[in-house]
Amino acid sequence: MNKYIRFLRLAFFALCTGSILAGCAAAQVESTATTQVQPVGVTPIGKESPMDTPTPPTTTPFADVLSVRASGEPGAYTFSVEIRSPDLGCQQYADWWEVIDEKGRLLYRRILLHSHVDEQPFIRSGGPVPIREGSVVWVRAHMNTDGYGGAAFKGSVRHGFMQVDLSPDFAAKLEQSPPLPEDCAF
């Protein structure tokens, strides 16, 4: 019986200590939420990489790419892109994200069929993206009202992707290139 009580005390202590540490870990995550977006790498093909980079709240009318993950095979990658946008409904929302090469050619565009007012940030996947493992590409998002201009990522499947500055004027003509959204569901 004495061993049982000792076991219960130890279990209670471990439970309390774990709860306190979990609370501290949550506080650390919250305290880093105002830091800069850190680079997000891509793990080897067939494995997934984390998309848990803390990001500050948006203050611009642009859609920001927060992270990029790629999986699949050369010539047919699936990209998972995390976006934060100041969506208000169909009158203002992120209407697509796209992958473009360094010369400004559209390689893939993922049309977003509705606004994400109550789901920020959000992740959407798309593909196949027809690139080689070492091809350097840009990933950016677009707002139906203000176009390009938010945070973008640059990189490759082999070396990962990093947030970088991209002029809203870079390959701006793509804004008129198909595929384009036909409508906004909500």
Q: Which residues contact 157 (CB under 8 A, 6 or more apart)?
A: 42, 45, 70, 74, 77, 131, 133, 134, 135
76 Cβ neighbours under 8 A, 6+ residues apart: 127, 128, 129, 130
| 186 residues of the chain, pLDDT tens digit each | 444 444 444 444 444 434 333 333 333 222 222 223 333 444 334 444 444 444 444 456 899 999 999 999 999 999 999 999 999 999 999 999 999 999 999 999 999 999 999 999 999 999 999 999 999 999 999 999 999 999 999 999 999 999 999 999 999 999 999 999 999 999
CA distances from 82 to 17, 67, 76 (A): 34, 5, 20
Q: Where are the domains of the chain?
A: 1-31, 64-176
Would the pTM count as exceeding 0.75?
Answer: no
Q: What token pair was written down for 99?
A: 């992958």
What is the topology classification, in CATH, of domain 64-176? Immunoglobulin-like (2.60.40)
